[in-house]
Amino acid sequence: MSRLAPLSEEPINEDEEYSTNCSKKKGYSWKNWLKTHFYLVFNKKSDLKVLLSVLGCPLFPVSIHSKLPINEVSSSAQYIIQHFSAATGCRKLQGEVKNIFATGKVTMAMVDELGGSAMAGATTVAEKGCFVMWQMAPNKWLIELVVDGHKVVAGSDGNVAWRHTPWLASHAAKGGVRPLRRALQGLDPMAISAVFSPAQYMGEKCVSGTDCFVLKLSADQADLAARSDSTAEMIKHIIFGYFSQRSGLLVHLEDSYLTRIQSPGTYPTYWETTMATKIEDYRIVEGVMIAHGGQSSVMITRFGDSLKSGLSITRMEETWTIDDLAFNVPGLSMDCFIPPEEMQKDYPEENLDWRSPLYR
């Protein structure tokens, strides 16, 4: 199976139905690609597509690895994770949970002005939707999210992560298989403990009035290289987890990735995307503390010598709530995570546009 491009976007002709075979289309020139992506970020008709692409089902920056030898793990990080495990009660379920099922609601909106709030009545319209998520171990997952009649489906079978949208065919994520970020927003304490165990302790910080311990994870150079290509270089992808000193719970996530875009004979352009998520409303589900709500905000910053207008910033927000969550749902099998049929076809590389900096 050849790895396909992640999440390339194209403007939709509203008078025609977009073909589901667009992943087979001939590659675009750099000039056309640039026009396409500027259209998506700054054209109001594309707001919902950008919201779904960026906020709908992003991946976590790093994979979940086996436990490292104790001498390779920060003792401070281990203390924080042990405190988190005890606070959530997830230790008692270790080895007992075969799968997780969750349903919830989302509200998404663009934010026109820096410092404004779409949720508080800014000029853009907030779009409401819902999602359902299944997970069998952190690397096998499936999510279906519907907002304003537009459905996005994403999944992973443990070998490849992919996504399908109404306006594009299925696309695979580049780099190693990573967990779904939404699942690590307090929904899966076992995965949170595993992924942050090898983290770097960064000290203490007060976030929204809560004193927190800060842990940092970074994508390694090999994975960054695997997620890059000849015109788009992934420079960094890092995430910080903020754990309450008082309760031990994960209360905030903040990740950032920087992409350098350059075609031959042009100046480079840089895209930096930062996503911050407040995690709250922890409730007990089958003896385990699970977060049932939160808010995410995203800032996409575009800069470089080639931009005559200077720095450009796009912001968007999401609120989310969990309606239902259950462990060990009967009937969930490996067959539920099989990728779409088109993912198993061998598409030639030159027929794909791999270079989107927005949706890596």
Strand partners, 240: 216, 254
pLDDT of residue 25: 39
How far out from the chain centre does Cα 210 lie?
Answer: 25
| Count of CA atoms in the C-beta half-sphere (13 A) of 126 | 15
Contact 181, 54 (CB under 8 A): no
Strand partners, 110: 316
As a whole number, mean pLDDT of residues 23-43 equals 44
Tell me which amino acid residue 257 is: Y
CA distance 105 to 295: 12
The angle at the Cα of 247, spanning 244 to 250, to the nearest 5 degrees, equals 45
Rounded Cα distance between 298 and 238, Å, is 15
Tokens of 242: 């903020």
* Model pLDDT for residues 161-181, shown as the tens digit of each residue: 899 888 777 778 888 789 999
Q: What are the Cα distances from residue 51, in Å, to 5, 41, 55, 313, 316?
A: 19, 10, 6, 15, 7
Say what the pLDDT of residue 2 is: 42
pLDDT in tens, 4-32: 444 433 333 333 333 334 334 333 444 44
Find which of 14-18, 116-120, 121-125, 244-248 is predicted with most confidence, using mean pLDDT.
Answer: 244-248
- CB-based burial label for 330 (10 Å; 0-12, 13-18, 19+): exposed
In the chain, which ranges are continuous DSSP H helix? 30-42, 47-55, 75-88, 189-196, 221-226
Asked if residue 89 lies in contact with residue 289, where contact means CB atoms within 8 angstroms, the answer is yes
Distances (CA, A) of 317 to 109, 278, 355: 5, 11, 24
The Cα–Cα gap between 196 and 64 comes to 9
Lowest-confidence pick of 211-215, 270-274, 298-302, 352-356: 352-356
Q: Compute and round to an integer the Cα radius of gyration of the chain.
A: 20
| Residue reference for tokens 């920056």 | 61
